[in-house]
Structure 1
Amino acid sequence: MIRVYRSGCSHCDAVVAEPSDWALPQDAIWIDLVDPTPEEDKAVEVALSLSIPTRAEMAELEASSRLYREGGATYVTADIIHNGDGDMPSVDPVTFVVTQGPLVTIRYFDPKPFAILADRIERDPELCSSGADMFLHLMEAIIDRASDILSINAARVEGISNHVFAEGKTVGFQRLIGKLGRAHIVNTRIEQSLAGLARVFAYVSLDERIEHVPDARDHLRSLSGDAASLLQHNQSVAAGINFQLSAALGLINIDQSSIVKVFSVATTCLMPPTLIGAIYGMNFDHMPELRWIDGYPLAILAMVISGIAPLLWFRRKGWL
C-alpha cells in the first residue's frame, strides 16, 4: 500500500488505483510504503527518480547496505521494536529515505510510532512542513515508544527481583528463570534497536537538509542524546537481569545443598543405631546381653544416644 501525507492535511491519502496510474502530489511530505508490491515500488521509483530497497536488501546487516547516499537521497535502515505491549516484543527493519522532497518509508509491519505520529498530524496538520521535518518527528515517536517499552521491561525485572529476594515465600525458581530469560531477550532487542537508531542519527546528521537547518540540527542532537541515555538505562537493566539470574541460581544451589545436608545428617544419625541394632540382631549363643533383664531397654537407649550424639556434635560445630 502507498500512503501519502500532504503538507497541511490532517489525514493520509491511500492509493487504491493502479500503481502505474499514480502521480506524486506536489505537496507530498511523506510517502509511507506499507508491505508494498513490486508495482508500488516501481511507481514510487519512477515518481521520485530513486531506487526502493527490497525486503531482502533491508534485512542485510552490513553498514554499507543500511547507511548510504544515492541520487541525492540519504538511505538509512533501522531495526524498530514493535509489539511492545506483548510478552515478547519483536524487531524488524524499516528503511527511511530522506530526499529533497518527501520522506519515504518502507516497512513490512505496523509499528506503533507510525500510528502515533499519524494521530499527532491529525490533531496538528501544521506539525510537519517538509520530508526532513517528518523524519525527525517520526524518529521522536520511535524513541518515545522505545522508552515506554524499556520502562515496561524494567518494571517487570523489578517485580522479579522482589520475588527472588522475598522472605517467607516459596519461590518458584523455574518460572522466575524463565521470566528473567524473556526479560533478557527483550533487553537485547531494545539495545539492538537503540544502537541502530544511534548510528542512523550520526549518519543523518551529515545530510544537508538537516545539517544546515539549525532547528533540525538541534532536534536531531536532542534525539541522539535521548538514544544514548536510553542505551545506558537499558544496560543497567541488563546488569540487574544478570545479577538476579546469578542470585536465583545461587539460591537454587543453596536449596539443593540444604536438601543434601538433611539427607546426609539423617544418614549419619541413623548409622550408629543401625549398627547397634544389627549387632544385637545376630543370633549368637555367647552374647550375655541377650539374657539380661535390662538388655533390651539398654540396647534401645544406646541406639537413641548414638543417634542424638552426632546431632549435638554437628550443632556445636555450626554445621546445622
Structure 2
Amino acid sequence: MMNLLRRATRGFVPHVVSGEWRPTDDIVWIDLQSPTPEEEAAVEAAYGVDLPTREETARLEPSSRLYQENGATFLTATLLARVDEPHPVATPVTFVLIDNVLITIRYEPLKAFTIFAQRCAHVPVNDGGDAALELLDAIVERSAEVLELQSSLTHETSIAIFNRPPSTAFGPLLTDLSRAQSITSMVRKSLVSLSRLTSFGALAPEFQRDEARRSHLTSIQHDVQALTEHASFTSGHISFLLDAALGLINIEQNSIIKFFSVVAVVFLPPTLIASIYGMNFKIIPELHWAYGYPWALLLMVISGVAPFIWFKRKGWL
C-alpha cells in the first residue's frame, strides 16, 4: 500500500501505482506499508534509490542499518507493533530522506504512524525533514505511552502481590508481570535503535542545513535517552516483583510443608502406641487389664500433645 502526503492537501492520500509513475514536486512523505514489488520499483525509479526489501532489512546487522547512498540517508529502526494485541512484535521500519522527501517502509500497522497521519490532516507539513522529525516525535510519544501503561500495570501488580489475601493464586499475577517484562524489553530495544537512528540522522543534509531541525533532533535524542532509563528502571522493578512473587510462593509452600510435617510428627507417637496394642499376639501383659483401654488412649493423647507443645515453645508454629 502506498500513501502520499502532499503540501497542498491535508492528510494521507492512497495511491495506486499503474504504469510509469512520476512523483510531483509537492510530495512530502511517501509511506509504503507492506509494499508490492511494483510500488517499490516505482519509487526506486522515481528517486534513483535502492530500497531495502523486508528480507534484506531482517538480514542487516545493526551497524549496517544506517548509511548514506546516492544522496539519500537510510535509517532503519526496530519499533514495537501490535501492543494492544496478545502477541506484540518488533518490526523493522526504514526511513529514507532524499531531496526533502521522506520515504518510510514498514510491514506492520503502527499506531504512531496513524496518530501522525491524523495530525497531518489538521496541521500541514512543509517537507520531508519536518515530516521525519514530527514522525519521530509521534514514535517517542507512543513509546512513552506504552512504558507508562506498563509502569501502571506493574504498580497495580505490586499492590496485588503484597496486599493479597492468603492462598490467592499467583498465576495471573505472574502472567501479567511476564507480559509487562516482555513489552518493556521490546520497547527498550526499540529506544536503543531510535537512539542510534537519531545520532546518525544528524548527518542527513535535511538536518545539517537547518539549526532549528538540529535542535529538534537533539531534543528527540534527550527524550529517547530519558525513556531508555525509564524502561531500564521499569524492567528492574518487574524483575524484583517476579523474584518477590516467587519468594512468597516458596514461603507459602514451606508453610504448608511445615504444617504437614508437624501434623505427621504429632500423630506418629499415638500411631506407634496404637500399633503396639493392636498386635494380635496371644500373650500381651495389658490384654486383660481392666484399665488397658483408657491407659492406651491417655498415652496416645500425651504422646500427641507433648510434641505440639514442644514445637510451640520453639516457635516453629
TM-score between both structures, scaled by the size of structure 2: 0.95
Residues 1:269 and 2:279 aligned together:
no
Q: Is the partner of 2:203 in helix, strand or coil? A: coil
State the alpha-carbon separation in 2 of the partners of residues 234 and 87 from structure 1: 20
* Residues 236-270 of structure 1 deviation map (CA, whole Å, 9 limit, x = unaligned): 11111111111111111112111211221111111
Distance 1:59 1:285 in 2: 87
Helix, strand or coil at the partner of 2:287: helix
What secondary structure does 1:81 align onto?
A: strand
Post-superposition CA distance 1:169-218 (Å, at most 9, x none): 43211222222221111111111111110110111112232133111011
CA distance in structure 1 between the partners assigned to 2:273 and 2:181 by the alignment: 57
CA displacement at 1:8 relative to structure 2: 3.8
CA distance, structure 2, for counterparts of residue 319 and residue 61 of structure 1: 61
Residue 42 of structure 2 is matched in structure 1 by: 43
Query: Where in structure 2 are there 5+ consecutive unaligned residues?
Result: none
CA distance in 1, matches of 2:164, 2:112: 41
> Residue 93 of structure 1 aligns with which residue?
92
Go from structure 1 to structure 2 and tell me whether the alpha carbon gap of 1:170 and 1:109 turns closer, same or farther (over 3 Å shift). same
Following TM superposition, by how much is the alpha carbon of 1:145 offset from its aligned partner in structure 2, in angstroms? 0.7
Q: Separation in 2 of the partners of 1:86 and 1:152?
A: 14
Task: Measure the CA separation in 1 of the matches of 2:223 and 2:255.
Answer: 48
* Aligned partner of residue 138 in structure 2, secondary structure: helix
Q: Name 1:34's counterpart in structure 2.
A: 33
**Which residue of 2 is the match for residue 25 of structure 1?**
24
1:168/1:4 Cα in 2 relative to 1: closer, same or farther (>3 Å)? closer
Counterpart of 2:120? 121
1:145-294 to 2 correspondence within 5 Å?
145-284=142-281, 286-294=283-291
Partner of 1:76 in structure 2? 75
Name 1:13's counterpart in structure 2: 13
Change beyond 3 A, Cα 1:34–1:167: closer
Q: In the alignment, is residue 63 of structure 1 matched against residue 36 of structure 2?
A: no
Q: Is the 8 A contact 2:150 2:184 kept in 1?
A: yes
**Matches of 2:225 and 2:17, distance apart in 1:** 43
The separation in 2 between residues aligned to 1:195 and 1:113, in whole angstroms, is 17
Supply the RMSD in Å over aligned alpha carbons.
Answer: 1.6
For 1:156, the aligned partner's letter is L
Residue in structure 2 matching 1:140, options 134, 137, 150: 137
Structure 1 window deviating more from structure 2 (108-117 vs 225-234): it is 108-117
For the 8 Å contact 1:98–1:104, the answer to whether it is kept is yes
Distance 1:212 1:48 in 2: 21
Q: How many Å apart are 1:283 and its aligned residue?
A: 4.0
Give the superposition deviation at 1:17: 4.5
Matched residue SS, 2:131: helix
Equivalent-residue separation in structure 1 for 2:117 and 2:282 (angstroms) = 101
Structure 1: how far apart are the matches of 2:316 and 2:166? 24
State the SS of the aligned residue for 1:123.
coil
- Partners of 1:213 and 1:87 lie apart in 2 by 42
Decide whether the 8 Å contact of 2:12 with 2:121 is kept in 1. Answer: no
Q: 1:300 to 1:120 in 2, by over 3 A?
A: same
Matched-pair contact (CA < 8 Å) for 1:91–1:189: yes
CA distance in structure 1 between the aligned counterparts of 2:220 and 2:200, rounded to whole angstroms: 13
Alignment CA distance shift 1:80-1:129 (3 Å): same
Structure 1 gaps, min length 5: none
Choose 4-13 or 44-53, whichever is displaced more: 4-13
Aligned residues: 317
Q: Distance in 1 between matches of 2:59 and 2:141?
A: 26
Counterpart-to-counterpart distance in 1, 2:286 and 2:11: 104
SS of the aligned residue for 2:121 comes to: helix
SS at match of 1:288: coil
The answer to which of 214-223 and 9-18 deviates more is: 9-18
Q: Which moved more, 1:223-232 or 1:292-301?
A: 292-301
Relative to the length of structure 1, the TM-score reads 0.94
Give how far 1:53 is off. Answer: 0.9
Q: Give the fraction of aligned pairs with identical amino acids, expressed as a percent.
A: 42
